[in-house]
Structure 1
Amino acid sequence: MANEDDALEHERASWKPSPGLAVAVSDPVRTPDLPPHRERMTDKDPAAMKRAVRTVYTLFYLSVAGSIWAVAAYMLFPIESGSIVDIRYNNLFVGLGIALALLAIGIGAIHWSKAVMSDKEFVEPRHATRGRDSVREAAVQVFDDANEESGFGRRTMIRNSLIAALAASVVPGITLFRGLAPENSPENPHGGDPVYLLSHTMWKEGSRLAHDPEGTPIRAADITLGSAVHVIPEELAELHHDEGYLEEKAKAIVLLMRMPPEDIIESPERADWSYDGIVAYSKVCTHVGCPVALYEQQTHHLLCPCHQSQFDVSDGAKVIFGPAARPLPQLPITVDDEGYLIARSDFTEPVGPSFWERH
C-alpha cells in the first residue's frame, strides 16, 4: 500500500498541464484516503433508476399540490370573517400547504442529486483563463457536460415537474398579499385607501386611556416616573368578542410613559399634548409595523425588537437609529374631572408603516 501511495504522489508531482484549457479526464479519481468508488443501485439497475426518477417528479408534483391546497385553504377559511375558528384553520392549513410545497421540493432535489445525477469523481486540471475563443468554447462545453450529467435537459419529467413546483410555490404568497388591505365596496368605500384606513382609529375626544387588555381606566396619579403602560381605548375593551376587534386594536395600541416634565422637548403646536410628564405614542413601528414596546427609562428611548429602530420619546419620538422613516405618531392626552387620562382627539397622522407614502 505504501508503494502504491508513493507512486500516486510521484505521478502528481510529475504531471504538467497541456497547452490550452484542459477538459475533464475520462478516468475516475482514486483518492488514497477514501475507499474505492462504489456504484449506486440506480447505476447498476435500470429499474431502480426509473423508480428514482418517478420518485423525484412525484415529489415535485406533490409540491404543486401543496401550493394549490394553500391557496384553497386561504379561500375556504377567510380570515376576513373575523371568526376565531376560521383564523385558526386558515393559519393551520395554509401553513401545512406551504410547508408541504417547500419540503417536497427540498426532498425531491436531494433525492435527484443523490440517486439520479452522475455519481463519479473526475480530475479537471485548470490554468489561468485568458478569455480566448477556445476558452469560451470550453466554458460552453462545461455547461453542456453539467447538463448531461444532471439529466436536466434529458429527463423532461423531472425538469418539467421541478419548474411547475417552483412556479406553484410562490402562488400561496401572492394569494396571501391580497388580504393586506380590504377592497373598496359600497359598505366600505375607503377600503382600498391605506392612508384613510390608517388615519382613523377608535381614539376620539374624551376616550379614556385603559389598560390593555382588561380595559381598566388609568388615573394620571397612578403612573409613576419611568413606567411604561400598554394602553387601548376604553371603548375597545367592550368589543373584545366582536368582528373587527383585532383590526381596530392593531391601529389603536398605545404606549404610555412618564418622565420628568423638564426632560420633554415639545414643539409649540404640541405644548398641550402631554400631561405632567406623561406622553402617549403609537406602539406600531413606522418601519414595518412591529410593536415598539422596549422602553429605556434612563435614556427615554423606545426600541423596536424587529429591526432595532430607536425612537427618542423625550423629543417627539424622533428616529435616532434604524430603518424607520418617521417618528411615532403622538396621541394628544389630558385628564378629565375625575383625574382619568383621556384623549384630546384621534392621532393627527396615519399610524403604522410608511409604505403608503411610496407612489
Structure 2
Amino acid sequence: MSNADRNTPGNKNPSEEELASMSQEELARLGTNLDDVDVIFRRNRWPAKGTKAEKRAERQIAFWFALSGLSALAFIAVFLFWPWEHKSLGEEGYNLYNWATPLYGLTFGMAILSIGIAAVLIAKKMIPEEIAVQQRHDGPSDAVDQKTSVALLKDAYDTSTIGRRNMIKLSAIFGVGTFAVAAPVALAGGMVKNPWADGDDSPLWTSPWDPDYPGQTVYLRRDTGRIDDIVLVRAEDLDAGAMETVFPFKEEWRGDLYKLRYSLRHQYAPVMLIRLRSSDTARVVKRQGQEDFNYGDYFAYSKICTHLACPTSLYEQQTQRILCPCHQSQFDALQYAKPVFGPATRALPQLPITVDEEGFLVARGGFIEPVGPAFWERPNYTEIPDLGERES
C-alpha cells in the first residue's frame, strides 16, 4: 500500500453495505483516514524476498523462541525432579539441593527473557519501518472504527511477513506455548500437598516453639551467625527498654546441624523479646487469657507481622511501638501488641515465657494461636483459651 493511497481521504462515512464490500486494503486505507493519520515514511524491511540477510533474521527470531521453549521445559523438569529437600552442609546431596533455587530462577528467567528478545527482534527486523502522525480524539469507537482497526492490524501482520515464515511461527508456538504450561507449574505444585494432612500438627497451626513432648524445655536462644553456637538468654542480659530477636532451642537439637538451622531459619521462629521499664510494665494492658504470659518486665511477641508476614523488626523505646517496615503497621507493646496503625488487623501472637531453675529464659509452651497473616481456616479470636488449648 503506497503512502499516497494511505493518505487519500475517500468517503469517510460509508454505509454498512459499502463496508461489507470493501477489501482489506481499502478498509485499512479508510481506517488510516478516519484516524487522521499522516504516514510520513514507510518502508518494508525485506522488499526483496529470500535474501540471506532475511533468512538470517528469521533464524535469529526462531532461535530465541526455541530457547524459550527449551528453558520452559527445563524449568518443568527441574521443578518436578530436582532434589529440593533440605540438606545440611556435609550431608550427601547438599550440592544438588543447594542448586535447586538457582536453577528455578535461571530456567524460568531464561524462558521469559528469550520471549522478550524474540519480540524485540520481530519489531526491529520484520515490522515495516514507519513514521506516522495522528491527531487524538475522545469518545467510543463506532462500527466503522472497529472494522477498520481490525483491517489495520491484519495489514500490519501481512506486511510484517510473519505469516509466511513457518520457522518463526512454529518456534513461537513452541516457545510461548511451553512457557504458558511452565508458568502455572509452581503454583500448581504448591497446591498438591494437603496443608491440613497432619490435623492439629499441620504447619499453619504449629511453630518450632511447640514442645515435641510434654515437659520438654524450649529455651530462648540468640543467633550469633554460627549455626552450632548455642547462646541462651538470661533474664539479666537485656537492659530496661531493650529488644532482642530470639529463636527456639531444644537440648535434643544440640549437634544436629539440620535442626539447629531449621530453628533459626523457620518462618515462624523469630520472636521479639522486649524488656520494658518497670514504670511501663505497670501500664501494660494484657490480653484476656494471657495475663501470665510475661515474665516480670519481659514480654515476647512473634516477629512475623499479621498483615503479610514481614518481620516487625523495629521497636521504638519511647512510644512503645513495634513497627513493620514493609507496610507501616504499628503495634502497641503496652497493649498485648495490638495493631494501632496500618493494614494489620490482628495482634502479634504472644509467646508465654518464664525462667528455669538455672536462670535461663524459656517458653512455657508454644503459641496458642497461629503465627503470621490470616488464612481461610484461621479463627477470629475474641477470647483466648487457656495455655495449651487451641480453638478449632
TM-score norm. by structure 1 comes to: 0.77
- Partner secondary structure for residue 121 of structure 1: strand
Give CA-to-partner distance per residue, 1:104-142, whole Å, 9 cap, x none.
111111111000112123455676667544333323323
Preserved CA contact (<8 Å) 2:339 2:346: yes
Q: Which residue of 2 aligns with 1:139?
A: 149
Amino acid at match of 1:316: Y
Which of these residues, 95, 105, 115, is aligned with residue 105 of structure 2? Answer: 95
Q: Which segment drifts farther, 242-251 or 272-281?
A: 242-251
Q: Which residue of 2 aligns with 1:68?
A: 73
Amino acid at match of 1:107: I
Which of these residues, 291, 300, 303, is aligned with residue 320 of structure 2? Answer: 300
Q: For residues 256 and 320 of structure 2, what CA distance do their matches in structure 1 show? A: 32
Deviation at 1:284, TM superposition (A): 2.3
Q: Which residue of 1 aligns with 2:120?
A: 110
Amino acid at match of 1:23: G
Q: Report 1:1-359 matches (<5 A).
A: 19-20=12-13, 22-24=30-32, 28-29=39-40, 42-44=46-48, 46-47=50-51, 48-83=53-88, 84-122=94-132, 131-151=141-161, 155=165, 157-177=167-187, 180=190, 183=193, 191=197, 196-203=202-209, 204=211, 206-213=217-224, 214-235=229-250, 238=254, 241-242=257-258, 245-246=261-262, 249-260=266-277, 261-357=281-377
- Partner secondary structure for residue 58 of structure 2: helix
- Partner secondary structure for residue 66 of structure 1: helix
Q: Which residue of 1 aligns with 2:5?
A: none
Deviation at 1:345, TM superposition (A): 1.0
Amino acid at match of 2:245: H
Amino acid at match of 1:226: G
Distance 1:201 1:208, change over 3 A: same
Q: Which residue of 2 aligns with 1:6?
A: none
Matched-pair identity in %: 34
- Partner secondary structure for residue 55 of structure 2: helix
Give CA-to-partner distance per residue, 1:11-38, whole Å, 9 cap, x none.
xxxx9997549533799515xxxxxx78
Preserved CA contact (<8 Å) 2:245 2:273: yes
Q: Which residue of 2 aligns with 1:5?
A: none
Deviation at 1:346, TM superposition (A): 0.8
Amino acid at match of 2:203: L
Distance 1:217 1:126, change over 3 A: closer
Preserved CA contact (<8 Å) 1:329 1:349: yes
Q: For residues 260 and 193 of structure 2, what CA distance do their matches in structure 1 show? A: 15
Distance 1:165 1:286, change over 3 A: farther
Q: For residues 130 and 255 of structure 1, what CA distance do their matches in structure 2 show? A: 57
Superposition RMSD in Å: 3.6
Q: For residues 355 and 137 of structure 2, what CA distance do their matches in structure 1 show? A: 80
Distance 1:150 1:358, change over 3 A: farther
Amino acid at match of 1:272: D
Amino acid at match of 2:247: I
Normalized per residue, the structure richer in helix is 1
What is the number of residues matched between the two proteins? 334
Q: For residues 103 and 194 of structure 1, what CA distance do their matches in structure 2 show? A: 44
- Partner secondary structure for residue 29 of structure 1: strand
Q: For residues 192 and 356 of structure 1, what CA distance do their matches in structure 2 show? A: 17
